[in-house]
Amino acid sequence: MGKRTIIGIDPGTNLLGFGVIDVFDGKPVFVDMGVLDIRKEKDAYSKLRQIYETVSEVCKTYHGTEMALESPFYGKNAQVVLKLGRAQGAAMIAAMEQGITVVHEYAPREAKQAITGNGAASKEQVARMIRETLGVDLEAERLDATDALAIALCHFYATSSPLAAVRSSSSWEKFIQANPDRVK
């Protein structure tokens, strides 16, 4: 498999974080990260257009091959979840129109678990592990971008693991069947 470029998206209708990693020889390498700040924009549809345009530009600039998004999680306020779903949808369409056919969603707890080993880790703990894993200096005010990098790394780990082929199953028999050379 050639170079992979994973674009991570932490969707939001006020702040959208993005993180980009390349994978060379099975190792993730930091490429870029950023935050789209659309808090001043009052029109919800203009926000979606800005999300679409920004994600399209990120995909085009870095030649993304895969996208990982934080999925909207259960919340007490259905309107917030709906707005996050719209932001996520705008990012998905942008990715697909730029030729990215591999799009995966990860719950916030799943990404935190993959990065820190603790599904309830704080944003600061996630940022610290990202800093150590990717060797990049992160600014505290860019935690939305850090979360996007965490989503991208979570996708890297999920798809690079020998268990990735049997991810949806906890069956050791399926793992052994899929990987007979790994069992002695």
Exposure string (b/e) for 108-117, b if CB count within 10 Å is 16 or more? bebbbbbbbe
Question: Active-site positions?
Answer: 10, 70, 144
Q: Give the C-alpha separation, 99 to 91, whole Å.
A: 13
Residue pair 127/140 in contact by the 8 Å Cβ criterion: yes
What SS3 state is found at 159?
A: helix
* 25 Cβ neighbours under 8 A, 6+ residues apart: none
Q: Which residue has the tokens 């470029």?
A: 5
**48 CB neighbour count, 10 Å cutoff:** 20
Identify the CA nearest to 59 among candidates 103, 12, 108: 103
